[in-house]
Amino acid sequence: MDESEHATATATWLDLYDYRRRVAEMYRRRAEALRVGQDEADTQARFRAAKDALFAHHPQSALGPDDRAHFTGLRYFAYNPALRQEATLAPETDPADQEMEASGPHTMRFHRAGRVRFTIEGTPLELIVYWIDVYGGGLFLPFRDATCPAESYGGGRYLFDTVKGSDFIPLDAAGAPAPPAAGAATPIGYAGGRILLDFNYAYNPSCAYDPRWVCPLAPNENRLAVAIRAGERKYHEDE
């Protein structure tokens, strides 16, 4: 999510750093819970509670002041284990630039970095993974599906954005969450492989909550014909 953040009068850049650190910790705890075999639905319930707390109380909440005053929690689809998919991530053979529409007046440029291939209800599907070309860079996976715009945000949702701390989970040869890469025995470099693609963690861009944020919108090439009823629903019913 290569957003242009405009801090509120009380929020600071250090607050933004703290927000991203907390989000990264949420994803780290999620990965660790899955590695040790904790219940998936319980793990997600804890994750959602932590995110609701950030939206309600953190100075860098995506919500505007009026929405925060009446906030009781984000809106979600029910947990759906069938939309927790094993996928294959492979490097993109044509790493061309991609201009994405944004919620603001200008497009944003990304590079195609990889593709994830998976199957839902017997239908083979794929999504492009993009590289965010800012300092340090990161992988970014936006998508739209058949729930847009009636049930989910019309601009699409995100599955991960490693710049902002949200991440995917690599799987080992047995299909279990792989341990963190560390030590001399860990291969250097990353050629892709099996990953966990859990649509129950699909989330809205910040511009879905308040127009002060400018966010890239999922491009047509990442539009899925199937309905992904998992993850965050649209927040404003009148969209």
Q: How far, rounded to the nearest angstrom, does the alpha carbon of residue 181 sit from its chain's CA centroid?
A: 21
pLDDT tops 70 at residue 219: yes
pLDDT in tens, 207-217: 999 999 999 99
Kindly indicate the confidence band of residue 181, based on its pLDDT and cuts at 50, 70 and 90: low
> With 80 as the cut, is the pLDDT of residue 5 above it?
no
Over residues 181-194, mean pLDDT: 73
Lowest mean pLDDT among 65-74, 93-102, 180-189, 207-216: 180-189
Q: Which residues pair with 87 in a beta bridge?
A: 195
Round to whole Å and give the CA distance between 152 and 148: 5
Q: Which amino acid is at 193?
A: G
pLDDT tens per residue, range 21-46: 999 999 999 999 999 999 999 999 99
Please report, rounded to a whole number, the percentage of residues in the chain having pLDDT higher than 70. 92
The pLDDT score that the predictor gives to residue 172 is 87
* Kind plus residue range of the DSSP H or E element containing 126: strand 123-132
* Placement of tokens 């689809």 in the chain: 77
- The domain ranges of the chain are 76-222
